[in-house]
């Protein structure tokens, strides 16, 4: 339970920071021409470093099944094994979605994916989000 809570807290904190940072850049741009151009350049550089995530997920249509998968992860099972057993989409092969580009994912999934820290299938840092597709348990293996 600590891993889920930690991931959710980290995702929430980082989402807030990102929104604040983007808002600050826009505000500075409105105050002065030079300041706006410099801030926009910095914002672009930051995004370049994190435009792709190598992500795995477990997708369940029903919350009850998603909670079963979370319980298995909390017992210490590997993420890819739990994904193979519980995921209800094409990524059943260990939940691997491969490299995903910013803008190609639905909002809540994307926000959570970019907010999570990198982890491994043996010791995953994960978070659960709900989208129009169902309940996702997400972990990120790498970012670029």
Number of C-beta neighbours around residue 93 at 10 A: 10
Across-strand partners of 100? 53
Q: Residue 107: is it exposed, middle or buried by C-beta count within 10 angstroms (0-12/13-18/19+)?
A: exposed
Please name which of 86, 79, 77, 91 lies closest in space to residue 118, comparing C-alpha atoms.
79
Q: 103-119, pLDDT tens digit by residue?
A: 999 999 999 999 999 99
Question: How much is the pTM?
Answer: 0.67
Q: What percent of the chain has pLDDT over 90?
A: 62
Helices 2-31 and 63-74 cross at an angle (nearest 10°) of 110
């Amino acid at each position: 339970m600590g891993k889920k809570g930690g991931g959710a807290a980290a995702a929430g904190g980082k989402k807030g920071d990102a929104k604040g940072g983007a808002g600050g850049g826009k505000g500075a741009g409105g105050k002065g021409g030079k300041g706006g151009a410099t801030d926009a350049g910095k914002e672009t550089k930051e995004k370049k470093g994190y435009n792709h995530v190598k992500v795995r997920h477990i997708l369940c249509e029903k919350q009850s099944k998603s909670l079963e998968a979370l319980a298995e992860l909390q017992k210490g099972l590997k993420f890819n094994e739990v994904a193979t057993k519980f995921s209800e989409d094409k990524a059943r092969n260990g939940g691997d979605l491969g490299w995903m580009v910013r803008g190609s994912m639905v909002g809540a999934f994307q926000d959570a994916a970019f907010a999570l820290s990198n982890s491994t299938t043996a010791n995953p840092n994960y978070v659960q989000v709900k989208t129009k597709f169902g309940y996702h348990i997400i972990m990120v293996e790498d970012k670029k």
